[in-house]
Chain A
Amino acid sequence: MNLSTGNLIMGLNTLQLMFYFAAALAIVASLKVITGKNTVHALLYLVVSLLAVAVCFYLMGAPFAAGLEVIVYAGAILVLFVFAIMMFGLGQDETLNAPLSHSFKLSNINLWFGPSLIAILLLSELIFAIDSSLVQEKLTSNIIDAKQVGILLYGPYLLAVEIASFLLLAGLIAGYHFAKSEGISIGQEGLDKQKETGGHS
């Protein structure tokens, strides 16, 4: 809707139109994340939402941040979510996140349809941005490259980088401690009692 009305108005800037389109896709994907019933569907929409935001970053003249968004957010953090969902065992959740049919056929194509549609739209927009010389000209005029960011990171922000490294170390240790197999903090009988009261599903 945003695009169809936008294409008619050629007075607007091409870069702005592309930004609004990617922003609309990000908002739609985020809404699908929080309203979804199925965990895996919501995760796919979250990936697409992050990719849309990465396109927004690219159009705002921050290609380094866009790359980080794709690599770290969509690549690493979301894979962590996928691993967690795998460990929960699909179907034990109260929201019934398992796909209905266990056959990986075209029958569950509606699982892939929404996220892949948004991803294809984003890809076409990115291809257009790379291909169009007009957009490239506008983009390269106000770019902030990785070199400036790196100089700032290891100059005035060195203390923040150190603190971030401590934060990551703390996250690593806490993650290892919490996800350890059986609870050490409470005794075995307390754990058994909690298992009994925890409900049989």
Chain B
Amino acid sequence: MSEIPLSHVLILASILFTIGFVGIIARKNTLFILMSLEVMLNAVGVAFIGAGSAWQQADGQVMFVLVLTLAAAEVAVGLALLIQMQRRFKSLDIDLLSKLKG
């Protein structure tokens, strides 16, 4: 059993997740939205590591590695889309992407 109680780790993870979620909802700059996504994925990692250390199993860290690869792939695609967006609209405002429909 770890020294740090699992509930406090989960509280930290949920606070970080909420911060990232508020960032996604509130910001209009797409780059900040991607950064908030990073914060949210990081919070998920905190929850996995906390659970893994509470039960003394390595599965939590395995899931953290998988979350890490997911974050890397997501950021690569997201930043490439961002570069394309800056090239076409000369701006990073997320509202411009509403023109994508149709």
| Stretch of A98-106, A115-123, A190-198 at the chain-chain interface | A190-198
Interface: A56 (CB within 8 A): yes
Give chain A interface residues in 157-201, CB to chain B under 8 Å.
157, 160, 164, 167-168, 170-172, 174-179, 183, 191, 194-195, 198-201
The distance from the CB of A182 to the nearest CB of chain B, in whole angstroms, is 8
Give chain B interface residues in 18-70, CB to chain A under 8 Å.
19-20, 22-23, 26-27, 29, 31-32, 34-36, 38-39, 42, 45-46, 49-50, 52-53, 56-62, 64-66, 68-70
Q: Is the CB of A142 within 8 A of B76?
A: no
Q: Is the CB of A88 within 8 A of B86?
A: yes
Category for how many chain A residues contact B: 35 or more
The distance from the CB of B94 to the nearest CB of chain A, in whole angstroms, is 11
Interface: A111 (CB within 8 A): no
Provide the main secondary structure of the chain A interface: helix
Q: List 16 A-B contacts (CB under 8 A).
A: A23-B8, A30-B16, A57-B49, A62-B53, A65-B64, A65-B65, A77-B71, A80-B76, A81-B31, A87-B83, A88-B83, A88-B86, A152-B62, A171-B74, A171-B77, A199-B91
- Among B8, B9, B77, chain A packs the most CB atoms within 10 A around the CB of B77
Q: Is the CB of B19 within 8 A of A30?
A: yes
Interface: A59 (CB within 8 A): yes
Q: How many A-B residue pairs have CB under 8 A?
A: 209
Interface: B84 (CB within 8 A): yes
- Among B61, B77, B84, chain A packs the most CB atoms within 10 A around the CB of B61
- Given the complex, which residues of A lie within 8 Å of B91, measured CB to CB? 93-94, 198-199, 201
Chain B residues close to A by CB (< 8 Å): 1-4, 8-9, 12, 15-16, 19-20, 22-23, 26-27, 29, 31-32, 34-36, 38-39, 42, 45-46, 49-50, 52-53, 56-62, 64-66, 68-77, 79-84, 86, 88-93
Cβ-closest 10 pairs across A and B: A171-B73, A34-B23, A178-B80, A179-B80, A148-B58, A175-B76, A175-B80, A164-B69, A84-B79, A171-B76
Q: Is the CB of B66 within 8 A of A170?
A: no
- Complex-state Cα separation, A64 to B84, whole angstroms: 36
- Given the complex, which residues of A lie within 8 Å of B76, measured CB to CB? 80, 171-172, 174-175
**Which residue in A65, A175, A198 is a CB contact (below 8 Å) of B77?**
A175
Interface: A149 (CB within 8 A): yes
Q: Is the CB of B32 within 8 A of A81?
A: no
- Among B23, B31, B74, chain A packs the most CB atoms within 10 A around the CB of B31
Q: Is the CB of A179 within 8 A of B35?
A: no
Q: Is the CB of B35 within 8 A of A46?
A: yes
Q: Is the CB of B38 within 8 A of A65?
A: no
- Complex-state Cα separation, A20 to B10, whole angstroms: 12
Q: Is the CB of A175 within 8 A of B79?
A: yes
- Given the complex, which residues of A lie within 8 Å of B38, measured CB to CB? 46, 50, 73, 77
Given contacts A33-B39, A149-B62, A149-B65, contact A167 B52 (CB under 8 A): no
